[in-house]
Every structure is written in structure tokens, then in C-alpha cells.
Amino acid sequence: MEFKELDVLVIAPHPDDAELGMAGGILALQDAGQRVGVLDLTNGEPTPHGTPERRSAETAAATAVLRLHWRGNLGLENRKLQSTLESRAALAGVIRQTRPRWLFAPYWQDAHPDHVAATQLVDDARFWSKLSKCDLPGERHHPQRIFNYYCVHLKMHPQPAFVLDISAHWETKIRAIQCYQSQFIEGRESMRPSFLEQFEYEARYWGKTIGVEFGEPYACREPLGLNSLGSLL
């Protein structure tokens, strides 16, 4: 895997989680001049309508839509994701070689064991990435903060730390999600409302909470610092 230095690294349990949880945020960060990359921890397969080859092609298409600076896959096993010493070292190595200021990880509470494990893995690897006198690749590095995006399977109403206005990026976010036909379109034709319609309702709800058309919620377990109130909506 080749690496590029990043400002932001989004870590996703499966291909499509980053798109669902924060494609709008990715696009907004890039528009602000930030170098954003995504690391998928697994290939996401098997799934009912997917194959490894098809999922790879869908991921490549979504990556092009999002204009990502970098994307990689850690090659861990889908459905069996755990924060083992081996996976922690592998992720810490990526963090040390991409050197992001911020990490984004899934929200820590979820019904999907892979998502919960992914968040724990990010926490553990962030700490390991700053270690000295170790055999990890790259120079020691400690990302300033971890933010958490919502891509959850629980029917829950979170209380986010902040909601980001993604109205200007909504159409592009949907195009990125539509790249994953095997995950969100096929096999769901009879759903009413459709998956994408439900997804839009949620984004409009979060937008309403901050007085805009579409929003994305984010959590953070550490306090957020402001040097100005000028950017608050």
C-alpha cells in the first residue's frame, strides 16, 4: 500500500460506511483545502448481492465521485473485526505514515459488532501511533482529535456534538452512495419508503435542527475548542 500525507483520515469498517456517515463532511473538508483520505478496514464481503470484485469496483467509483486524496484497505476480515494487537499495529502504521491531524471513526455505540470494534481499534491505534522505541513503520505521530460519524444500525436518536451543514454537497453525497448498487439498491426494490428516501429524511431532519436543508451529525468524546463564535450557525 502506498501512502500520502493527509490532513484528515476517515476510518471505515467497510467500504460505503464513510460515504453514508460523512460524505458531505469529506467534500466540505476538501473544498476548504484539506487533504482527506479514507481507510476501509475490510472489503465488506460477503453480502447478499455483492462480491469482492464488485465491491472493489463500487468503491473505486465512489472514490472518484468524492475526489479523495487517498484511499486504502487494511485487509482485515469482514464480520470478525477486532482490536487485536496485530490489527492495532497495522492501523497505527497507517496513521504514522499518513500523519493526519484529525481521525474520523464510527460512533462507538452500534448493533454491528464490526462498527464497535472499529471504533475501539481507532482509539487504540491512535495511542500506539505516538509510541517511540517500537517496530512500527514511520515516525511517531499523534492525531490531535478523533471525531465520530453516525452510520449506525440501532434505531436511536443520538445527541451529537455538532451538526455540519452539507446542503451544498448533498447531491454529490447521494451520487457516491448510489455507486454501491449491490448494497443499497439491489434487493431493496420493494422497500417503501426506499433506503435512499429514508436516508434523505434523516439528513433533512438534521438540517432542520440547525436551520439548513441537509445536515450530518458528529460526536466527539473530548471537548471541542473554539477561538471564535463567528462560524456558529
Determine the pLDDT at residue 230. 83
CB of 7 closer than 8 Å to CB of 100: yes
**Over the stretch 64-98, which tens digit does the pLDDT of each residue have?**
999 999 999 999 999 999 999 999 999 999 999 99
CB of 163 closer than 8 Å to CB of 206: yes
CB of 8 closer than 8 Å to CB of 37: yes
Along the chain (233 residues), what's the average pLDDT of each consecutive run of 10 residues?
A: 95 98 98 98 96 98 98 98 98 98 97 97 98 97 98 87 97 98 90 92 97 98 89 80
Determine the pLDDT at residue 1. 83
What does the alpha-carbon distance between residue 75 and residue 52 come to, in Å, rounded to a whole number? 12
> What is the reported pTM?
0.96
CATH topology assigned to domain 8-219:
Rossmann fold (3.40.50)
Determine the pLDDT at residue 74. 98
* Nearest partner of 38 among 117, 181, 198, 149, judged by Cα: 149
What does the alpha-carbon distance between residue 175 and residue 181 come to, in Å, rounded to a whole number? 11
Determine the pLDDT at residue 134. 96
| The C-alpha cell that represents 11 in the structure block | 476510518
- The H or E element containing residue 8 is strand 8-12
Strands (E), 20-175: 36-42, 70-76, 102-106, 145-149, 162-165
What does the alpha-carbon distance between residue 215 and residue 165 come to, in Å, rounded to a whole number? 5
Q: Please, what sign has the CA dihedral across residues 38, 41, 46, 52?
A: positive
- Cell 493527509 belongs to 6
Residues whose CB is less than 8 angstroms from the CB of residue 222 and which lie 6 or more positions away in sequence, other chains included = 145, 146
* C-alpha radius of gyration, the chain, whole number: 17
Determine the pLDDT at residue 151. 92
